[in-house]
A = this chain, B = another copy of it.
């Protein structure tokens, strides 16, 4: 049963824009926040299929173009400048995901040292970075870039990389501690006093 409007036309009889899904895959590599770029100049993306959710399309991009599965893409915004794509009228629903660097094989570029990107992908990366910084402001590594077990120093390095600035050691400890569980083990790493090993506390829902 196909819906028709008063003039007998279906929705498909009206011209409408194409919808793309682009994903800014962020990670921390060498203590720097990086983004995965295709051919060094564009975010991975695809066209949304007609019976597919945005989430499914974003996961398909992650699988086919970045080689990762089981991630958690988040919608950022729709980019809709009519001139943004010279192939025609294409809306892009931008997404972001934070993925541990070990699960990526494609080339990465630090976000504070981006080359000019195709389309409006620079703006998408900016929005993705802003989202990531917000997510990492209060909670310990919410997207699991380290872990599952880690020392506070390891956690702090990841947060500093995402936020792009150094953090005070003592305040960072105190802010994170309530969200961490002490595993009881000690890191037997290099020189210095061994550090306690923590794990993220299960998220609390009030």
What's the Cα separation between A93 and B2 when bound, in Å?
A: 23
Query: Contact at B87–A11, with CB atoms within 8 Å?
Result: yes
CB distance from A31 to the nearest CB of B (A): 27
How many protomers of this protein does the assembly include? 2
What's the Cα separation between A34 and B192 when bound, in Å?
A: 60
Query: Please, how many residues of chain A have a CB less than 8 angstroms from a CB on the other chain?
Result: 32
What's the Cα separation between A16 and B78 when bound, in Å?
A: 16
A15 at the B interface (CB under 8 A): yes
A17 at the B interface (CB under 8 A): yes
What's the Cα separation between A17 and B56 when bound, in Å?
A: 15
A19 at the B interface (CB under 8 A): yes
Query: Contact at A3–B54, with CB atoms within 8 Å?
Result: no
Query: Contact at B81–A54, with CB atoms within 8 Å?
Result: no
Q: Choose, from A44-52, A106-114, A183-191, the stretch at the interface.
A: A44-52
Q: Point out the residues of chain B lying under 8 angstroms from A82, CB to CB.
A: 51-53
Query: Contact at A81–B53, with CB atoms within 8 Å?
Result: yes
Using a CB–CB cutoff of 8 Å, the interface residues on chain A facing chain B are 2-3, 10-12, 14-19, 47-48, 50-55, 75, 77-78, 80-82, 86-91, 93
